[in-house]
Chain A
């Protein structure tokens, strides 16, 4: 399966985007988000960007006040996921221009659309920024 979920959570622990690739109930999501955010926030910048949690790993990266957390299976390449997060941010940056937390909040669906292009069935399927953004730009033109 590879990627189990992608979360964006700010420093206060407030969820800004959540995409799960396996179904969890709202309660389960709430509990999981609380747990892992607490775990990741407690870590220093010098420590690894990877945390074990239950039977999988969380790869996280901080941008300004926003944390990107990706839950992955154990056999996933952690460093590659770390760079995948960066690719995601770069892609959003290209689209929004100097992307900030508020952009994601105002355009939640667009952030999701980008993820939909990049990840399917928990696998990374597209890493070309122009390919990722093309449908979104076309869609904007259309409406």
Chain B
């Protein structure tokens, strides 16, 4: 392969990478990729492509998809590559299919066979590669095809295989718990594996299992605790250490598991206290990973049965988090505070200042976390402050997802803790006004229900007050422009139901408003429907009260408009209004009883009043009604369905090789012979007939010789193999007993569909919690104060708030200074400051003194960041004398990465020698293998970079190119 380049990759590939790497915009990148697609489409199906070349094509396909374009034309080639004998090619093929396909893709069936074969391979790398794919692409139906082999591999001699087999089983459990239920004990066995890697991996499935069913695993508490102890005592191999912590990721997983097991279980918790406190003591709170473990300890402590000593040390750790300058730690502090606050509510008080600080912080993440905390500590004493803040924030953001969430939280808090009717209504108005279209329709229905059912328990006057204040505020709001539809629906409904109830507003005033609404939102049919229904109610109440009804002119024209509406629903409502206008008082009362929205309407589904009529017709010789499921045409379907359900447990595909096609198709297997075995071995012929018909024709394509037949039989594969996609046993949605809580008017969209029978109960109980005492509410303005001293607190808190502004400002000022100080550093090709926390390569100080660079900046007139500077230095360096000068000064003063670039530039000068070296080490990765000692040298390594650079340069990619960032070392 003459065109092969330095990395064992072709010039073409390197060119592609180069152009993608240097693309300046998404549009440019898209152009490159589209061109690439055209090229690949032409080339990839050429005959006799060398394997290496094909591998490259496939990686190029991966690029195409990664950059957001469709590469489905090449999927089949990736599938074919999985058949290859070379492990590297095979694994690349496997990788590509996992990236391209989902588990329900038609091509999967072509891979299953290869996977089966590979799982039996002698080469453990092949087995591992296959297990990787099993985890990604085996779906419920194909599990039985590989399950026996995977189970066998759990006992494989190579630990890497056992580990992956455990994860494959874990995956099966995630996909279809029932298929591996009998194998779950294997996880416990693997927990005691000699290899820490296998043990660590096993924690993942066990965590899932314990989440679902804690009680079955209580006997493992001691085991987990002792493992954790051993990990903490550094019994695991050194290679698991991370920044001087022994296997922190395993520690964290174990702590998570202990948290589950100890939750609400004193006996289990007691077994953990010692080890958890040990770990907390050992955590290095100056490193990120130490704090991560510390955080997990606190989570564990707040979940298990409380222990005063542990709580104390948790509280200490939390204060440290909150006092930290790092936002990440503050975030954790707020989070853990929210966890611990349930156990020791007093802890929040000492951190008032920090919490308020975080609430005011411009960092959205921190702010939201703080709102979460506030949400948890809301009481009736501080609900007003908190909800107010939340709504203000809700209004200020654009993120609809979070807006929705915070809106529903406001509603929840308001319902739960509302100090007064008026406040409640006002709060709801604000929420609806600003997020009305985002909140769940249920929230609106809930609001209507609360207004209808009232708030104050048995207190009727309170209910009436609530309604009046609702009506009043709605009349005020309704004129405002652009209200959300949901909110308008609530408004219309309430005005219709209670607009005239207290006699304050006349039956001509409210309808006028309603007509205005309908006119203003004339494109919104739902709102119009609510409006006309409200009119129906108001007029029928009037008629029932014996008053004469005069339709306002605007009402008249509104009704006329609806009579001619395209929407039959609106038409019907309009006709009903007309009809009601002609009724007498008695009739009006019975169809539209006043304030009866909470009454249930009984519906007898059997329609007994028709019995006489039916009987008569039958006698006259009419055919009797046959329910749908008994009708003859449907027999097959229904029996099929029930049978399918029955089969679900034994259902499986055949994965062993099919016989060669026979001239005679297998005769129809008599249906409904149930395979009673629940065995896993998938040989269930009889229970199979449904699929047999479908797939019979294409059966051979999955045979052992599948790989040979691929090209021929592909079209057959398109059919779905598994169960037909019937909706999983969804029983016909029962309409039975849909009580509509509303007045008799037929409103198909259901003003309040009583989705909330259960809610009612919870609501009742909630109602009792709310004992609104006005004095308390007025006192409670501060967030944290206990109700008695909250008055004092309020002022102090607000003082604190105002105080905190200043330091914050100062801080930011300081930060500004700091950044301007470090600006120079940032302009050097050193990685940004956050990288410096690695404790390696602390170059920051020296950079400042490098005057030549500043001068250079001026000289070269580069306003971007430095790497461009450097690259142009390198570019300029081709003039050798400048180069040597620069190289020397900079090498001395600057960090190595500059050295790398510069020396690379220098290398340019004696290009020839670089070239002569490179072909020897064609593969860069191989190079690192050959020199294992080099790997161990951490941090920048001038020589290595130099070689790499020369190599790349040979390909025509140079740091002087458009995107010098490509060359920056990730680790400083």
B675 contacts partner chain A, Cβ-Cβ < 8 Å: no
Binary flags per residue of A66-104, CB closer than 8 Å to B gives 1, else 0: 100000000001111011101101101111111111110
Tell me which of B143-151, B177-185, B927-935 binds A.
B927-935
> A109 vs B925: C-alpha distance in the bound complex, in angstroms?
12
**A residues near B323, Cβ cutoff 8 Å:** none
B63 to chain A, nearest CB (A): 7
Q: Select one of A47, A80, A94 contacting B289, CB under 8 A.
A: A80
* Among candidates B171, B288, B926, B945, residue contacting A82 with C-beta atoms closer than 8 Å: B288
Contact call B834/A45, Cβ cutoff below 8 A: yes
- Residues of B within 8 Å of A140, CB to CB, are 88, 923, 925-926, 929
- Give the interface segment out of B361-369, B456-464, B477-485, B566-574: B361-369
Query: Does B658 count as interface, using CB distance less than 8 angstroms?
Result: no
Q: Give the docked Cα–Cα distance between A121 and B88 (Å).
A: 22
B87, B167, B197, B832: which contacts A45 (Cβ < 8 A)? B832
A93 touches B252 (CB 8 A): no
| Contact A77 to B239, CB < 8 A, known contacts A108-B63, A125-B200, A126-B163 | no
B925 touches A107 (CB 8 A): yes
Whole-angstrom distance from the CB of A95 to the nearest CB of chain B? 7
A54 to B402, CA, bound (A): 7
Q: A residues within 8 A CB of B167?
A: 120-121, 123, 125
Is B284 interfacial (CB 8 A cutoff)?
no
Most buried by B among A47, A99, A137: A47
- Residue B20 lies at the interface, judged by CB distance under 8 Å to chain A: yes
A55 and B401 CA atoms in complex are apart in Å by: 8
178-209 of chain B: CB within 8 A of chain A:
196-197, 200-201, 204
Which residues on the A side are within 8 Å of B288 (C-beta)? Answer: 79, 82-83, 86
* Residues of the A chain whose Cβ atoms lie less than 8 Å from the Cβ of B291: 79
Minimum CB–CB distance for A37 against chain B, Å: 11
Within 8 A of B (CB), among A124-143: 124-131, 134-135, 137-143
Find chain B residues with CB under 8 A from A89 CB.
Answer: 970-971
The answer for the CA separation of A123 and B880 in the assembled complex, in Å, is 52
Contact (Cβ within 8 A) A120 B70: no
Provide the residues of chain B in CB contact with A50, threshold 8 Å.
Answer: 328, 331, 365
User: Complex: how many Å from CA A93 to CA B968?
Assistant: 12
Of A66, A108, A112, A116, most B-chain CB atoms within 10 Å: A116
Residue B738 interfacial (CB < 8 Å): no
Segment with Cβ contacts to A, from B37-45, B242-250, B699-707, B854-862? B242-250
Residue of B with least CB distance to A75: B256
Chain B residues lying within 8 Å of A64, measured Cβ to Cβ, are 831-832, 835, 965, 968-970, 972
Report whether over half of chain B's contact residues are helix, strand or loop; otherwise say mixed: helix
Residues of A within 8 A of B923 (CB): 140
B7 on the A face (CB < 8 A): yes
Residue of A nearest to B944 (CB): A97
Cα distance A15–B253 in the bound complex, in angstroms:
30
Tell me the bound Cα distance from A51 to B402 in angstroms: 12
Decide yes or no: A141 and B69 within 8 Å by CB, A83-B289, A121-B170 being known contacts: no
B95 touches A29 (CB 8 A): no
CB distance from B931 to the nearest CB of A (A): 9
Q: Is the CB of B941 within 8 A of A97?
A: yes
A125 contacts B163, C-beta separation under 8 Å: yes
Interface size on B, residues (CB 8 A): 110
A18 at the interface (CB under 8 A from B): yes
B305 within 8 A of A: no
Query: Which residues does chain A contribute within 8 Å of B252, judged by CB atoms?
Result: 77, 80
Asked if B512 lies at the interface with its beta carbon under 8 angstroms from chain A, I say no
Chain A contacts of B87 at CB under 8 A?
A: 139, 142-143
Name the residue on A nearest B833 (C-beta).
Answer: A45
Whether A106 pairs with B401 at a CB distance below 8 angstroms is no
Taking a contact as CB atoms under 8 Å apart, the answer to whether B970 and A131 are in contact is no
Task: Please name the residue on chain B nearest to A30 by beta carbon.
Answer: B68
Give min CB distance, B514 to chain A, whole Å: 38
Q: Determine if B17 is an interface residue (Cβ-Cβ < 8 Å).
A: yes
Q: Is the CB of B62 within 8 A of A12?
A: no
Q: Is the CB of B967 within 8 A of A80?
A: no
Within 8 A of A (CB), among B9-38: 9, 14, 17, 20-21, 23-26, 29
Contact B929 A46 (CB under 8 A): no
Complex Cα–Cα for A72 and B256 (A): 16
Given contacts A63-B831, A139-B87, A99 and B171 within 8 Å (CB-CB): no
Shortest CB-to-CB span from B52 to chain A, Å, is 9
A48's partner among B86, B365, B831 (CB-CB below 8 A) is B365
Complex Cα distance, B960 from A78, in Å, reads 38
Given contacts A26-B69, A105-B20, contact A128 B971 (CB under 8 A): no
Q: Which residues does chain A contribute within 8 Å of B368, judged by CB atoms?
A: 52
Known contacts A97-B941, A101-B968, A140-B923; is-contact A109 B59 (Cβ 8 Å)? yes
CB distance from B103 to the nearest CB of A (A): 7
Partner of A77, one of B23, B292, B924: B292
CB under 8 Å from chain A, chain B span 34-82 = 59, 62-63, 65-70
Q: Tell me the residues in window 17-56 of chain A with beta carbons closer than 8 Å to chain B beta carbons.
A: 17-19, 23, 26, 29-30, 33, 43, 45-55
Whether B971 and A99, one on each chain, are in contact in the complex, defined by CB atoms closer than 8 angstroms, is: yes
Q: Which residues of A contact B26 (CB under 8 A)?
A: 13-14
Bound complex: CA of A123 vs CA of B237, how far in Å? 21
CA A137 to CA B402, docked complex, whole Å:
45
B200 and A127 within 8 A (CB): yes
Q: Which residues of A contact B226 (CB under 8 A)?
A: none
- Give the chain A neighbours of B641 by CB distance below 8 A: none
The smallest beta-carbon distance between B330 and chain A, in angstroms, is 8
Contact B925 A116 (CB under 8 A): no
Chain A proximity mask over B159-175: 1 for CB below 8 Å, otherwise 0: 01001100100110010
Separation of A79 and B251 alpha carbons in the complex (Å): 14
Give bound CA distance, A10 to B125, whole Å. Answer: 32
Residues of A within 8 A of B957 (CB): 102
Q: Which residue from chain B places its CB closest to the CB of A65 in the assembled complex?
A: B965
**B928 near A49: Cβ-Cβ < 8 Å:** no
Closest chain-A Cβ to B354's Cβ sits at a distance in Å of 15
Q: Let me know if B132 is at the binding interface, CB within 8 A.
A: yes
Given contacts A18-B66, A131-B160, contact A108 B966 (CB under 8 A): no
Judge whether A49 and B401 touch: CB under 8 Å: no
Cβ–Cβ contact A120 & B940, under 8 A: no
Q: A64-B970, A126-B163 are in contact. Are A98 and B948 (CB under 8 A)?
A: yes
Q: Is the CB of B135 within 8 A of A120?
A: yes
Known: A47-B327, A94-B935, A120-B132. A128 touches B239 (CB 8 A): yes
Does B332 count as interface, using CB distance less than 8 angstroms?
Answer: yes
B92 and A101 contacting across the interface, CB-CB below 8 Å? no
Bound-state Cα–Cα, A23 to B139, Å: 12
| Contacts A48-B363, A83-B248 given; does A99 touch B969 at CB 8 Å | yes
In the complex formed, the residue of B with least CB distance to A129 is B239
Is B815 interfacial (CB-CB < 8 Å)? yes
Instruction: Tell me the bound Cα distance from A110 to B832 in angstroms.
Output: 26
B237 touches A128 (CB 8 A): yes
Are the C-beta atoms of B95 and A52 separated by less than 8 Å? no
Q: List 18 A-B contacts (CB under 8 A).
A: A15-B66, A15-B67, A18-B66, A47-B365, A47-B366, A49-B328, A55-B401, A65-B965, A83-B242, A90-B971, A97-B935, A100-B970, A101-B967, A107-B925, A124-B253, A125-B204, A142-B87, A142-B125
Q: Which 6 residue pairs across A and B have the least CB separation, nearest first?
A: A65-B965, A79-B292, A64-B968, A123-B204, A23-B102, A63-B970
Q: A47-B327, A94-B935 are known contacts; what are 14 more A-B pairs with Cβ within 8 Å?
A: A15-B68, A64-B831, A64-B835, A82-B292, A90-B971, A96-B924, A102-B967, A105-B21, A107-B7, A113-B91, A113-B95, A125-B197, A128-B237, A143-B87
Interface residues of B (CB under 8 A from A): 7, 9, 14, 17, 20-21, 23-26, 29, 59, 62-63, 65-70, 86-89, 91-92, 95, 99, 102-103, 125, 128, 132, 135, 160, 163-164, 167, 170-171, 174, 196-197, 200-201, 204, 237, 239-240, 242-243, 247-250, 252-253, 256, 288-289, 291-293, 295-296, 299, 327-328, 330-332, 363-366, 368, 401-402, 815, 831-835, 838, 867, 900, 923-926, 928-929, 934-935, 940-941, 944-945, 948, 952, 957, 965-972
